[in-house]
Structure 1
Amino acid sequence: MARSKSSESGGGTISVRVVDRLGDIPAADWDACANPRTQPDAAPRSLSDITAEETYNPFVSHTFLNSLEASGTVSARTGWLPQHLVVEDHRTDGGVIAAAMPCYLKNHSHGEYVFDHGWADAYERAGGHYYPKLQISVPFTPVTGPRLMARPGPDADRNRNALIAAAVELCKRHKASSVHWTFLPKHEWDLLGAVGALQRTDRQFHWANEGYADFDAFLAALSSRKRKAIRRERREALAEGIDVVRLSGSDITEDHWDAFFAFYMDTGGRKWGRPYLNRAFFSEIGASMAERIVLIMAKRAGRWIAGALNFAGDTTLYGRHWGCVEDHPFLHFEVCYYQAIEHAIDNRMAFVEAGAQGEHKLSRGYLPVTTYSAHYIADAGLRDAIADYLERERHYVDAEARLLRDHAPFRKDSQ
């Protein structure tokens, strides 16, 4: 661990330190910053309890991030060296962690889903060194969530600003090219923009629960053509004797993880060339946060053939990984999208986030939603070039989202 110089602010002394192992931070202290408004076992009972903003984000929890490190998925060897930043307030005996930020020193740009390979290539061609860089994110997880994580209170903004300043200082210490905060909440994006970070937008497709009583009620909100198409896809997905089950908590066994890992490796190897997660990671999350997992599995002739891994917040079901060892028409849509919607309706959840990219989600009721990232670029020349590009890109992303919404599958009188 390394400690920065302490500073006086708001009548008390704070300091910022770098922690290279999340296990060295007490889970309760980290979670008090990451998910301060809820407890992991508290879930809303009805849509009236749900706000538009997630109250418990499983991916910034100590449990999830520590599972990545404990399994060896995230490490210096894999190019994700933990350099977590914590702000400590010393107004009480022994101090208290007042803010925290998941931070990694990286020598590549894999597993981020906000693509800067073009920036790296241009800088290298100009004679610069783009790597190492600092990444403020949840590894391998394109899910919006807090990054400037602070305990609630009158000093929260001060502590968030201390995290930003510490990240820039850490960038300089490592002689890194840049700092990247990805998949930010809008208010953190605004805060970083106000202190000079470059602002970037992109889009994903999310499903919103409008208080549907069941899946048929959701279908009733769609145009007749889209409604018929989804019903046909669901029938054909299960036509060859395929059964689909949703598993959570103690119902998930190591046998299920063995099967799912085989799906993940087969599909990930064909899609990405190098899957990011190892087998130990799935056992880690299965042991530590199974109640927050919804594993959707498909079986044919007594054999597991496909599956989708989801995580549950309080308001949102997050679709993360899919894989299969048999190809069947529309099975991907059934397991990843329609089963997720049914689970959200059954459990009175407000949203389903189905991961990155995928315009094919639009016709299945998932609408475009803006995502946000912010970037500190140390080199002035590179910063100016990127700033010009991002201004044009933001206009394009906004125009594209409006166009996509015009092609939403919902009946005009239901929107």
Structure 2
Amino acid sequence: MTLHRRIAEIPAVQWDGCAGDENPFVSHAFLSALEDSGSTGPQTGWMPQHLALRDGEGSLLAVAPLYAKGHSFGEYVFDHAWARAFEQAGGQYYPKLQAAVPFSPVPGPRLLVHPTAPDADSLRLLAGRALRQACGEMGLSSVHVTFCTTHEYDLLGESGWLQRLGVQYHWDNQDYTSFDDFLGMLASRKRKAIRRERRDANACGLTFHTYRGTEITEALWQDFHHFYLSTVDRKWGSAYLQPAFFPLLSERLGDRVVLMIARQDGVPVAGALNLMGRDTLYGRNWGRHEGEWPFLHFELCYYRAIDFAIAHGLKRVEAGAQGEHKLQRGYRPCLTHSAHWISHPGLREAVGEFLQHERAAIRAELPALDAMTPYRTEE
């Protein structure tokens, strides 16, 4: 096991040989853009400690995007209450280790195994043990593998990690040929509501444009960074993503970067950034100038994402964290998964008991959430 303070220490071809091409957020290109732009590093409290496992001949077998953190911001799986409880009891929760994609609540693999490596599940378990070992050697309180795959969640759970569930809202493409084809699956009243929202959004003097990769100019990225900052300001958040991050994305990920822009009189007034995986469009960030445009957020972030997915034969749209309002627009509730290793036995026991009740509550809530979707029900 080795830990690396810069992803540049691991050649891109080797890292991506483990990461694959399905999920762009675990690619060397995305993670290096975060580091090279200054969006991750000591200045933001996301200090890379990327894990690498090699065989006896030095060939890379597995990697994990790993960060030492002195806070719990930018994660979207909230453990602030755990930290407060531990510190009130005299413990020190921070720093901790986080196996995650910074600032990106996107489900995907975290224990990245090379496809030619023998016994991938054993390697994933070995990576899990290596994370625990690194946590112990560094004297840290805990390690958290957030928004991991269901398979990783199950494997880590079987080896003693605490398991946590969350909920996001994803749209599934049922081989639709058009947006109207999708609307045909909805109850009449809901179908009319979405058509009205789209009509109103497109009748307020805006034009909508989709740009990919090298089509995205430096000027567009400057506009989008202003949109991003405006969203951060409205939500009282922290602007982790630096201006240089966005152009690095289109330079390194090419056509997998999809930027949707709304213009008024030719001037960009809003934008939605998406990344395209092998079969999924991932909503990333959005923002707008001050102004009143009805249903602009829904049109730019949800409906145009569905249009794009249908046109490009993608299986789903994942529009990010939170937002029960997505249910009325055809996005269904889906479980997300995380696994947590806590060194202190007392804290581990208390958190484990809390998570047991939380998992039961979330599973019980899913049918009620699904009933809020606009799809027709069989009589």
What's 2:81 paired with? 118
Is the 8 Å Cα contact of residues 187 and 376 (structure 2) preserved in structure 1? yes
- Structure 2 counterpart of 1:142, from 105, 116, 131: 105
- Structure 2 counterpart of 1:281, from 196, 220, 245: 245
* Unmatched tracts of structure 1, length 5 or more: 1-15, 39-55
Identity %: 51
What's 1:328 paired with? 293
- Structure 2 counterpart of 1:360, from 288, 301, 325: 325
What's 1:70 paired with? 36
CA distance in 2 between partners of 1:258 and 1:62 (Å): 24
Is the 8 Å Cα contact of residues 252 and 290 (structure 1) preserved in structure 2? no
What's 1:51 paired with? none
- 2:303 is paired with a residue of what secondary structure? helix
CA distance in 1 between partners of 2:40 and 2:295 (Å): 34
The residue type equivalent to 2:208 in the other structure is V
What's 1:300 paired with? 264
Give CA-to-partner distance per residue, 1:312-358, whole Å, 9 cap, x none. 00110000101000331100000000000000000010000000000
Alignment of 1:44-123 (within 5 A): 56-90=22-56, 92=57, 95-123=58-86
Is the 8 Å Cα contact of residues 63 and 289 (structure 1) preserved in structure 2? yes
CA distance in 2 between partners of 1:213 and 1:110 (Å): 40
Alignment of 1:227-376 (within 5 A): 227-325=191-289, 326-376=291-341
Is the 8 Å Cα contact of residues 213 and 251 (structure 2) preserved in structure 1? no
* Unmatched tracts of structure 2, length 5 or more: none
Question: What TM-score comes out, normalization by structure 1 length?
Answer: 0.89
Is the 8 Å Cα contact of residues 173 and 316 (structure 2) preserved in structure 1? yes
CA distance in 1 between partners of 2:279 and 2:331 (Å): 16
CA distance in 2 between partners of 1:272 and 1:353 (Å): 24
Per the TM alignment, residue 226 of structure 1 is displaced from its structure 2 partner at its CA by 0.6
Q: Does 1:169 align with 2:154?
A: no
Is the 8 Å Cα contact of residues 214 and 251 (structure 2) preserved in structure 1? no
Is the 8 Å Cα contact of residues 18 and 86 (structure 1) preserved in structure 2? yes
What's 1:384 paired with? 349
Per the TM alignment, residue 148 of structure 1 is displaced from its structure 2 partner at its CA by 1.0
Give CA-to-partner distance per residue, 1:166-215, whole Å, 9 cap, x none. 11111112211100000011010000001100000011000000011100
Relative to structure 1, is the Cα distance of residues 398 and 24 closer, same or farther in structure 2, using a 3 angstrom cutoff? Answer: same
The residue type equivalent to 1:25 in the other structure is I
- 1:370 is paired with a residue of what secondary structure? strand
Is the 8 Å Cα contact of residues 206 and 354 (structure 1) preserved in structure 2? yes
What's 1:33 paired with? 18
Moved more, 332-341 or 143-152: 143-152
Per the TM alignment, residue 103 of structure 1 is displaced from its structure 2 partner at its CA by 0.5
The residue type equivalent to 2:87 in the other structure is E
Is the 8 Å Cα contact of residues 210 and 261 (structure 2) preserved in structure 1? yes
Give aligned pairs, total. 377
CA distance in 2 between partners of 1:258 and 1:380 (Å): 49
Per the TM alignment, residue 154 of structure 1 is displaced from its structure 2 partner at its CA by 2.1
CA distance in 2 between partners of 1:345 and 1:189 (Å): 30
Question: What TM-score comes out, normalization by structure 2 length?
Answer: 0.97
- Structure 1 counterpart of 2:148, from 163, 178, 184: 184
What's 2:9 paired with? 24
Alignment of 1:221-232 (within 5 A): 221-232=185-196
Per the TM alignment, residue 21 of structure 1 is displaced from its structure 2 partner at its CA by 0.6
